Amino acid sequence: MDVVNVVKVAKKGDKEALLQLILAGKDAYYRLAYSYMRNEADAMDVLEDMVVKLYEQIGQLRKEESFYTWSKTILVNQCKCSLKRNKKVIPLGDQLDVSKTRVNSTGISDYRQVDEQLDLQALLLHLNTDQREAIQLKYYHDLDYGSIAAMTRVSTGTVKSRIYQGLQKLRALYGRNTDEQH
């Protein structure tokens, strides 16, 4: 799919083109919404709100090639507004579902992976909100620095700084020497 051309068509009011763009990114949108909202129902609600906003504001998009960064920024803002409106303070992060633990060839669950995920989630809670958000957007959602900067409305340098400082703090908390070579 040529995103730029489909966005141009969507900007002219073609609902099908907009739907095509949204469906192409549906998994990434859902993961992002779920990481903020922490449950399926709330994630679906903010996704619906995002779709409405996209439809209403698609004409305001200046750079067609930035559609997905722009739409994810709208989604993050919808999540934050919904959390604020509901007065929920939920740290960004994926909930761990132990019931989906992998089973190896001997039929034994991979509890070590679960322990490591629990340790990581606990460590992330020691970071400030900005550092945690930047790290999770970078490493859980595989977003580039520019996209994170646009979504969080800070400079790319600030994003890099938050990630660097957060990782330094995680290393210190985990007991690893930051000068250690691997």
What was the pLDDT predicted at 119? 58
In whole angstroms, how far apart are CA 132 and each of 11, 112, 125, 136, 150? 34, 23, 8, 6, 16
User: Coil, strand or helix: which one is 170?
Assistant: helix
Whole-model pTM: value is 0.67
Nearest CA to 117 out of 134, 137, 140, 151 is that of 140
| β-strand partners of 109 | 103
User: Coil, strand or helix: which one is 53?
Assistant: helix
pLDDT tens digit sequence for 127-163: 898 998 898 888 888 889 999 998 888 999 999 999 9
Q: What CA–CA distance (Å, rounded) separates 18 from 13?
A: 8
Q: Per-residue pLDDT averaged across 93-109, rounded? A: 43
pLDDT tens digit sequence for 12-40: 999 999 999 999 999 999 999 998 888 89
The half-sphere exposure of 126 on its side-chain side, counting CA atoms within 13 A, is: 14
User: Above 80 in pLDDT, residue 91?
Assistant: no
- Residue 179 phi/psi, 5° resolution? -90, -5
Say what angle helices 26-37 and 67-85 make with each other, to 10 degrees: 30
* Domains identified in the chain and CATH numbers: 3-85 (1.10.1740.10), 98-174 (1.10.10.10)
Q: Are 116 and 122 in contact (CB under 8 A)?
A: no
Q: Per-residue pLDDT averaged across 75-79, rounded? A: 92
Average pLDDT, whole number, for the chain?
81
What was the pLDDT predicted at 92? 52
What was the pLDDT predicted at 88? 54
Burial class of residue 181 (count of CB atoms within 10 Å of its CB; 0-12, 13-18, 19+): exposed
